Chain A
Amino acid sequence: MSGYEPVIGLEIHVQLKTRTKMFCGCELSFGDPPNIHVCPVCLGLPGALPVINARAVDFAVRIGLALGSEIAPRSLFHRKNYFYPDSPKGYQISQYDVPVCLGGELGGVRIHRVHLEEDAAKLVHIGDSGRIHGSDRSVVDYNRCGTPLVEVVTEPDLRSAEAAHEFLTLLRVTLRQLGVSDVNMDEGSLRCDANVSIRPVGSETLGTKTELKNMNSFRFLERGVRAEIERQTELLKDGGAVLQETLHYDPAAGRLTSLRSKEEAHDYRYFPEPDLVPLLVTGEMIAAARDEVPELPAVRARRFEAQFGLNEGRARDLAFRKELGDYFEAALVADGEAGAVEVSNWIPQLVERIGPDADPSQSRVTPAAIAQLAGMVVDRKVSRDAARDVLSKLVAEGGDPTAIVERDGLSVLDDGDELAAAVDRAIAADPDAAAKVAGGNVKAIGALIGPVMRETKGRADGGEVRRLICLRLGR
């Protein structure tokens, strides 16, 4: 990075999956006809007052516990004042100097704070650009207005766009496992802004930061942050200075455009919301929330490594998707932990066959079946190739792997004579390749293994075939 080190902090907005809105009884919705989930409170009608949603508080406390935050026994809501049609009261009710959760850590990234607030309405700009500039007119849909939001703010601990991506992934799976949000970036239930600055490697002081908005997918987050790091690096290299400003990432053009500079920054005139009393979180509320916090993905991944000897990547793949981890552990229960690594090898195979988003426990392949199949591979009762075939059959028709192997004659070819004969035939059929292998060109062995496998319809064990060929050709 040419002598500069990026410093990145994230601000993540998470829509909570409560039944009703943050300060009124309207139901949450997505994709419904506009302005049907509204009432005097979320429309900001004169005289209407907010009342805190207890479930949203419970969810925020769960998130705080999951991130190892300190839960404030007493926190405050403030009014954040700004004029815009997405804000029907002319202010957003948000937490300011005393948030409900303070501090914490996830995946090595320190958490600064977690606070509760309400979502804004959705503006639809009618016109070519889809943005307010240059639009013919704008209409407002208040269905989203007042949806409970939690904002998670990290410390500036991230050092690359990839690390930002990785952290957001971990946060997403953690929140999903908590059951507090759909965490869907496409639908806006997970949104991420990034504060980006760069500094000379070795420097301890922070450079001037810019705030990146509108990175509404994991890909765009990584691209946007990378583009901004490059932009800032070029600026500094050319002797320029980074301006503190808010930038809008345009994914189509891959460009960042300035929304406003520091001088144009809003003065939100925060002050304590007089329509609400302080939010008190009792020990009982914390205990109840703690009961609802399951084993979290990062913890489970570490356990998979330690307990079952899985490698880091495989452990994460299984632990970060609850249904995969659950399926994996169910298979181990069915067949003991000894073959855990082999069982874990077969789950990605299964996912490949049932589709990336399907839940394996909903497939025809029972955890016991996949455990049995893995066991047969370990015991060399079926070749790896044949086992893949068996798995496809299990996906299609279910049932018992042993029975399928028997029925379809897929058990490993361990009759030495039959295999030896097949090897001899293959060598005889391709003398060129045989000569090469005999002459020391081991790479050529593939040309001989292939026909053997074909002839035995995959029932032969590849390793054994290789061993026999080498033996025969004196290597």
Chain B
Amino acid sequence: MSALTELTELTAAEAVAKIRTRELDAGELFEAYRGRAAADDLNAYTWVADAAPDPLPGPDTPLAGLPLAVKDLFCTIGVPSQAGSKILQGYRPPYTATVVANLLEAGSTLLGKTNQDEFAMGSSTENSAFGPVLNPWDRRRVPGGSSGGSAAAVAAGLAPWAIGTDTGGSIRQPAALCGIVGLKPTYGACSRYGMIAFASSLDQAGPLTRDVTDSALLLARMVGHDPRDSTSIAMPEPIRTPTAADLRGIRLGVPEELLGGADEGAGIEPGVRESFEQALKLAEGLGATVDTCRLPHAPHALSAYYLIAPAEASANLARFDGVRYGLRVGGDSDLVTMYGRTRGEGFGAEVKRRIMLGTYALSSGYYDAYYGTALKVRTKIAEDFKAVFSEFDFVVTPTSPWTAFELGSKTDDPLAMYLNDFCTVPMPLAGIPAISIPSGLSDGLPVGFQLAGPAFSENRMLNAAYALERAIGFDAAAARA
């Protein structure tokens, strides 16, 4: 193992500590990662920095100059921000997203922009206009999505850590499929200003990291009320580094609606179920109690999600019209023709499908039956969680029903693809935080374990995940080789 590789074997928290004690130089670390990112053969990156910023943030800044991989859909001033879409190919925004600005302010350095499903619509990163991302555990397989580039980059050691966004599972599911940690915060914890929107009432930024400690460290510098985002809220307390050694007194609820037999729910793979149950045993060993709980409306979450998210997306994506920025096709023709050609060529199939779904769901005469009903289901799901959290500290599920699947195996079956989100979709509908940590391998592929807690329970959730992570002792070094 070369010296440079050793550098990239450090977790972010370890690297920060070494930079702070002057054992490690942030510029050297940046170069090590820049070299690996530039040689990326997973297609995880859509843009990599030419050089470290000059000057680098000082070693005593909170994040000590550590390089950061940023999902493409975060606007970064002067740097391509394309949301994985041809319609924004080459688009360089004139401003930086608040979350990114917060992290740069805290001493992060921008290493690169990561590939994603177009406009975050997908669960495999196969919907990117810039080609699919490969899973570092098995290059014939997908890394999950939509934050697949961020997850693959972190898993493969092409970045110490990354940020992504989660709308229905887009941080947690790729984290699970790539064997890393991914956290979706409480809705409103992180500003959405400068995140190219998919579904405004669901989108949340969050960290993708090698371990739980790194997630806490990164999240601590992402959160905060932003006067530019009316839906953002100040956390009631700062995010702290987790330290819990056990899970004594922690009550874990396993929702029977999400964990039904093979003929129910999403059909959880046996290997995934096995890994999940082993993790539960470890949790009990740490002092947690495990019981089944009821989320009666959770089976309808996917249906509600696939009405609400596309409805919002149909409006959010209306601005991509060829008039002001991005792709324009048929500019010499009349307005409607230009709109049609631009959007026809600029958007991929999945994006078009969801725009049509959403447009239909909001149409006069259909609104009440579709969008209106979906909003009611959403309220019911939030009430379900509230009831469960009066008896349980966390709801736990496998993050994804499956491990990483082969490229192309689900692209012709959108409904099968949507089932990926079966266990991750209820939480954003309720606005609550959830984290995915690796619970082990199934046939050599990582399995994700999900904890979800009440709004603003991030510190407790990170502590529980931290204790469990240490008991599981997952080794992801193979993916970085």
Residue in A closest to B312 when the chains form the complex, CB atoms: A274
Q: Complex: how many Å from CA A83 to CA B336?
A: 9
Interface residue stretch chosen among B17-25, B32-40, B208-216, B228-236: B228-236
Interface 1/0 per residue, A56-93 and B, CB below 8 Å: 00000000000000000000000101010100111100
Instruction: Let me know if A240 is at the binding interface, CB within 8 A.
Output: no
Task: Judge whether A46 and B83 touch: CB under 8 Å.
Answer: yes
Task: Judge whether B228 and A271 touch: CB under 8 Å.
Answer: no
Residue in A closest to B82 when the chains form the complex, CB atoms: A46
Instruction: Let me know if A241 is at the binding interface, CB within 8 A.
Output: no
Task: Judge whether B94 and A140 touch: CB under 8 Å.
Answer: no
| A281 vs chain B, min Cβ distance (A) | 15
Interface 1/0 per residue, A267-280 and B, CB below 8 Å: 10111001111000
Instruction: Let me know if A44 is at the binding interface, CB within 8 A.
Output: yes
Task: Judge whether A45 and B318 touch: CB under 8 Å.
Answer: no
Which single member of A50, A85, A140, A271 contacts B311 (CB below 8 Å)?
A271
Q: Complex: how many Å from CA A267 to CA B366?
A: 11
Q: Complex: how many Å from CA A275 to CA B196?
A: 13
Query: Which of A49, A83, A277 has the largest count of B CB atoms less than 10 A from its CB?
Result: A49
Query: Which of A40, A79, A132, A274 has the largest count of B CB atoms less than 10 A from its CB?
Result: A274
| B144 vs chain A, min Cβ distance (A) | 23
Task: Judge whether A47 and B231 touch: CB under 8 Å.
Answer: no
| A459 vs chain B, min Cβ distance (A) | 72
Given the known interface contacts A269-B364, A274-B312, the answer about A49 and B228 at a Cβ–Cβ threshold of 8 Å is yes
Q: Complex: how many Å from CA A269 to CA B83?
A: 25
Tell me the residues in window 296-355 of chain B with beta carbons closer than 8 Å to chain A beta carbons. 311-312, 314-315, 317-321, 323-325, 335, 339
Name the interface size band of chain A.
Answer: 20 to 34
Residues of B within 8 A of A81 (CB): 314-315, 318, 362
Instruction: Let me know if B194 is at the binding interface, CB within 8 A.
Output: yes
Q: Complex: how many Å from CA A51 to CA B91?
A: 25
Instruction: Let me know if B371 is at the binding interface, CB within 8 A.
Output: yes
Task: Judge whether A47 and B93 touch: CB under 8 Å.
Answer: yes
Task: Judge whether A269 and B359 touch: CB under 8 Å.
Answer: yes
Residue in A closest to B200 when the chains form the complex, CB atoms: A274
Given the known interface contacts A40-B93, A85-B335, A267-B363, the answer about A46 and B319 at a Cβ–Cβ threshold of 8 Å is yes
Instruction: Let me know if A48 is at the binding interface, CB within 8 A.
Output: yes
Residues of B within 8 A of A274 (CB): 199-201, 231, 312
Residues of B within 8 A of A43 (CB): 324
Instruction: Let me know if A293 is at the binding interface, CB within 8 A.
Output: no
Residue in A closest to B326 when the chains form the complex, CB atoms: A46
Residues of A within 8 A of B199 (CB): 274
Task: Judge whether B364 and A90 touch: CB under 8 Å.
Answer: no
Which single member of B91, B193, B195, B318 contacts A90 (CB below 8 Å)?
B318
Residue in A closest to B199 when the chains form the complex, CB atoms: A274
Interface 1/0 per residue, A245-270 and B, CB below 8 Å: 00000000000000000000001011
Tell me the residues in window 198-223 of chain A with beta carbons closer than 8 Å to chain B beta carbons. none
Interface 1/0 per residue, B179-194 and A, CB below 8 Å: 0000000000000111
Task: Judge whether A83 and B321 touch: CB under 8 Å.
Answer: yes
Tell me the residues in window 224-265 of chain B with beta carbons closer than 8 Å to chain A beta carbons. 227-231
| A396 vs chain B, min Cβ distance (A) | 56
Residues of A within 8 A of B364 (CB): 267, 269
Residues of B within 8 A of A79 (CB): 315
Residues of A within 8 A of B231 (CB): 274-277
Given the known interface contacts A81-B318, A83-B318, A271-B362, the answer about A47 and B230 at a Cβ–Cβ threshold of 8 Å is no
Q: Complex: how many Å from CA A46 to CA B326?
A: 10
Interface 1/0 per residue, B65-87 and A, CB below 8 Å: 00000000111000001010000
Task: Judge whether A46 and B323 touch: CB under 8 Å.
Answer: no
Q: Complex: how many Å from CA A275 to CA B75?
A: 17
Residues of B within 8 A of A271 (CB): 311-312, 315, 362, 367, 371
Residues of A within 8 A of B227 (CB): 51
Instruction: Let me know if A52 is at the binding interface, CB within 8 A.
Output: yes
| B175 vs chain A, min Cβ distance (A) | 23
Residue in A closest to B91 when the chains form the complex, CB atoms: A46
Residues of A within 8 A of B417 (CB): none
Residues of A within 8 A of B91 (CB): 46
Task: Judge whether B325 and A275 touch: CB under 8 Å.
Answer: no
Instruction: Let me know if B97 is at the binding interface, CB within 8 A.
Output: yes
Given the known interface contacts A83-B318, A271-B311, A275-B230, the answer about A45 and B193 at a Cβ–Cβ threshold of 8 Å is no
Task: Judge whether A91 and B229 touch: CB under 8 Å.
Answer: no
Residues of B within 8 A of A52 (CB): 230
Task: Judge whether B315 and A91 touch: CB under 8 Å.
Answer: yes
Task: Judge whether A47 and B339 touch: CB under 8 Å.
Answer: no
Given the known interface contacts A45-B94, A49-B193, A269-B363, the answer about A90 and B201 at a Cβ–Cβ threshold of 8 Å is no
Q: Complex: how many Å from CA A271 to CA B307?
A: 13
Residue in B closest to A87 when the chains form the complex, CB atoms: B318
Q: Complex: how many Å from CA A44 to CA B228?
A: 14
Tell me the residues in window 171-193 of chain A with beta carbons closer than 8 Å to chain B beta carbons. none
Instruction: Let me know if B425 is at the binding interface, CB within 8 A.
Output: no
Residue in B closest to A44 when the chains form the complex, CB atoms: B319
Task: Judge whether B228 and A90 touch: CB under 8 Å.
Answer: no
Residues of A within 8 A of B451 (CB): none
Residues of A within 8 A of B318 (CB): 81, 83, 89-91
Residue in A closest to B372 when the chains form the complex, CB atoms: A271
Q: Complex: how many Å from CA A271 to CA B311?
A: 9
Query: Which of A52, A83, A277 has the largest count of B CB atoms less than 10 A from its CB?
Result: A83
Interface 1/0 per residue, A30-43 and B, CB below 8 Å: 00000000001001
Task: Judge whether B81 and A46 touch: CB under 8 Å.
Answer: yes
| B382 vs chain A, min Cβ distance (A) | 15
Instruction: Let me know if B88 is at the binding interface, CB within 8 A.
Output: yes
Task: Judge whether A40 and B94 touch: CB under 8 Å.
Answer: yes
Q: Complex: how many Å from CA A386 to CA B384?
A: 88
Task: Judge whether B319 and A90 touch: CB under 8 Å.
Answer: yes
Task: Judge whether B323 and A85 touch: CB under 8 Å.
Answer: yes
Instruction: Let me know if B295 is at the binding interface, CB within 8 A.
Output: no
Which single member of A83, A90, A270, A275 contacts B200 (CB below 8 Å)?
A275
Given the known interface contacts A46-B75, A88-B323, the answer about A83 and B339 at a Cβ–Cβ threshold of 8 Å is yes
Residues of A within 8 A of B229 (CB): 49, 51, 275
Interface 1/0 per residue, A220-232 and B, CB below 8 Å: 0000000000000
Given the known interface contacts A79-B315, A275-B200, the answer about A45 and B93 at a Cβ–Cβ threshold of 8 Å is yes
Q: Complex: how many Å from CA A91 to CA B358?
A: 14
Excluding A85-B323, A277-B230, 6 further A-B contacts by CB distance (< 8 Å) are: A46-B75, A51-B228, A89-B318, A90-B317, A91-B318, A269-B367
Top 4 A-B pairs, shortest CB-CB distance: A90-B318, A274-B200, A269-B362, A274-B201
A-B CB contact pairs (8 Å), 11 listed? A44-B324, A46-B325, A47-B73, A50-B230, A51-B228, A85-B321, A88-B324, A132-B335, A140-B323, A275-B197, A276-B230
Chain B residues with a Cβ under 8 A of chain A: 73-75, 81, 83, 88, 91, 93-95, 97, 192-197, 199-201, 227-231, 311-312, 314-315, 317-321, 323-325, 335, 339, 359, 362-364, 367, 371
Chain A residues with a Cβ under 8 A of chain B: 40, 43-52, 79, 81, 83, 85, 88-91, 132, 140, 267, 269-271, 274-277
